Amino acid sequence: MIKSVSRHIILLFLALSPGIRGAERLYVFYPTMVRSQVLQKEFSKTFAGVDVIVFGKYGDFRAKIAADSSAAVLTRPALIDQLPGYEKRLTGVRDGKTEEAYRLASVGKPVKTDSLGSITIGVLDFLGKQGMEEFVSSMTRHHAKVKRVMKLEDLLPLLTFEMAQAILVTDEQIALLKKTSNLDLIVTQLPGAQSGIIALGAQKSASPDAVIKALRTQTVLGVQQWK
């Protein structure tokens, strides 16, 4: 009798405890200079009732989605468009905008935009090989050679060791790189080169209410609001 009562209590506890059973899952992939382990701790503190896993590499993120998909993902809108069965539910707003501009940064002198097809451009990978080649092409309007890196800070060695003649970055990224480098980084504008900052994607049949509530009440990854 005692064993039976204890078993029922345990089952009731599991059913009522979202952190143990039935918690919504959120996969986060948004490469920054902040390590994924640090982001994981920050998300875990503020996203009550949500099991959050932060990924540092595109390949790891896609492999996990394929093997054990989550109801919701937090990443760049262009990547959500790659994921079968997912749709954008919320779009992040930073400084009043849902999109950010992309620029080219080079050492010592600006890049000649009419010869981009003949140079190598470094970029932070968030779409995989083919996806990043298409992304760079859409931003530069040229089919340049693309050199991908897994970490933002790894873009600098590409320039230092002349493995790339320019890097494709956002204003936020170039500001961070300038703080950590003595390189004479020169920015070249790319008219019309803009892409979405960040978005919440969810499976079409899912209702990630806890994730949405947490996003609307927390400031994460420099996003001031969601719409």
Q: Are strands 86-93 and 225-226 parallel, antiparallel or unpaired?
A: antiparallel
Nearest CA-CA partner of 140 in 89, 105, 91, 175: 105
Instruction: Spell 170-186 as b/e; 16+ CB within 10 A means b.
Output: beebbebbeeeeeeebe
Q: Helix, strand, or coil here: 213?
A: helix
Distance of alpha carbon 93 from alpha carbon 227, whole angstroms: 7
pLDDT of residue 22: 61
Tokens of 106: 């080079």
Q: ∠212-34-225 over CA atoms, to 5°?
A: 30
> Do 44 and 52 touch, CB atoms closer than 8 A?
yes
Which residue do the tokens 């080649």 mark? 133
pLDDT of residue 218: 84
pLDDT of residue 20: 38
Question: Quick one: the chain helix, strand, coil %, rounded to 5?
Answer: 40, 30, 35
Q: What is the mean pLDDT of each run of 10 residues along the chain (227 residues)?
A: 43 38 86 92 89 96 96 97 96 96 98 94 98 98 96 96 98 94 96 97 94 91 93
Angle between helices 128-140 and 58-67 (to 10 degrees): 130
Domains of the chain, start order? 2-94+197-226 (3.40.190), 99-196 (3.40.190.10)
Instruction: Spell 62-73 as b/e; 16+ CB within 10 A means b.
Output: bebbeeebbbbb
> Do 201 and 88 touch, CB atoms closer than 8 A?
yes
Half-sphere exposure of 220 (CA within 13 A, CB side): 30
pTM, 2 dp: 0.88
Q: ∠59-64-67 over CA atoms, to 5°?
A: 125
Name the burial class of residue 89, with classes exposed (0-12), middle (13-18) and buried (19+) by CB atoms within 10 angstroms of its CB. Answer: buried
Q: Helix, strand, or coil here: 29?
A: strand
pLDDT of residue 219: 85
